[in-house]
Amino acid sequence: MSEITRVDGRTVDQLRPVTIERGWSAQAEGSALISFGGTKVLCTASFTNGVPRWLTGKGKGWVTAEYAMLPRATNSRNDRESVKGRIGGRTHEISRLIGRALRAVVDTKALGENTIVIDCDVLQADGGTRTAAITGAYVALADAIEWGRAKKFIAQKSTVLLDSVSAVSVGIIDGEPMLDLAYVEDVRAETDMNVVMTGRGLFVEVQGTAEGAPFDKRELDALLQLGADGCADLRDAQIAALAGGEDAAR
């Protein structure tokens, strides 16, 4: 790794400070307020006994997610999507990504005919909101599953979660691969990639985009390695949060 020092003093392979306030919401069946540096996302899990009509009677549960940003989460205010009357493409895309990432570690048969909706609302945005959302959503999901088990909606000994899941962004800036981009880095990145991995180190989703120059296989490999290391650190933060209460990675 290079000796480059980043705007906020981090090394290229270092995460921003990560905190996970598990159980932030008094009302949701699972919740976590997660921060990756200045990015803060409130993740709440809503457990409902029963499934959408199209899934009824198949003996399977359903996990889905919705992502949104408060209008002043960002540096200048954005109009509300509720006021505009339609959800933007970016919002849709991220909601779908979070849902897929969570379903990748859920055994929907073991979940039984129950539905869990994870809401990820960005209270403050400073880059990496979708990866923070996935990482926090997993914690909220895990608690909601235990809630469902305690309420006997889920069988006592079933294994609903096959693995954990976390996510991080990586990118190439001035030719240098870097981990967990803050907003000022993200806007300068030539290539931007989101890596979603299980706790055991398998890929769930890899989304790499050349924002500037296209990239080659060697760069892709460097980004994937950085992402894998970052996801492992985040997995540890998730484990700590679920073991006790609040915790900070690194």
- Residues forming contacts to a second copy in the complex (CB under 8 A) are 25-28, 31, 38, 42, 44, 46, 48, 66, 68, 70-77, 80-93, 95-96, 100, 104, 117, 119, 121, 123-124, 163, 193, 197-198, 200, 202-210, 213-217, 220, 224
Q: What angle do CA 60, 67, 213 make, to 5 degrees?
A: 110
* Helix, strand, or coil (residue 93): helix
**Toward a second copy, which CB reaches closer, 91 or 146?**
91
Annotated binding site for phosphate: 90, 128-130
Between 11 and 58, name the residue whose CB sits nearer to a second copy: 58
Q: Cβ of residue 3: shortest distance to a second copy, in angstroms? A: 27
CB under 8 Å to 148, separation ≥6 — which residues? 29, 47, 49, 111, 114, 116, 154
Dihedral sign (CA 28, 145, 130, 230)? positive
Q: Which residues are annotated as a binding site?
A: 90, 128-130
Whichever of 4 and 102 has its CB closer to a second copy, that residue is 102
Considering the complex, state which of residue 157 and residue 218 has its C-beta at the smaller distance from a second copy. 218
CB 118 within 8 A of CB 140: yes
CB of 156 to a second copy, least distance (A): 25
**Which residue is it, tokens 């849709």?**
92
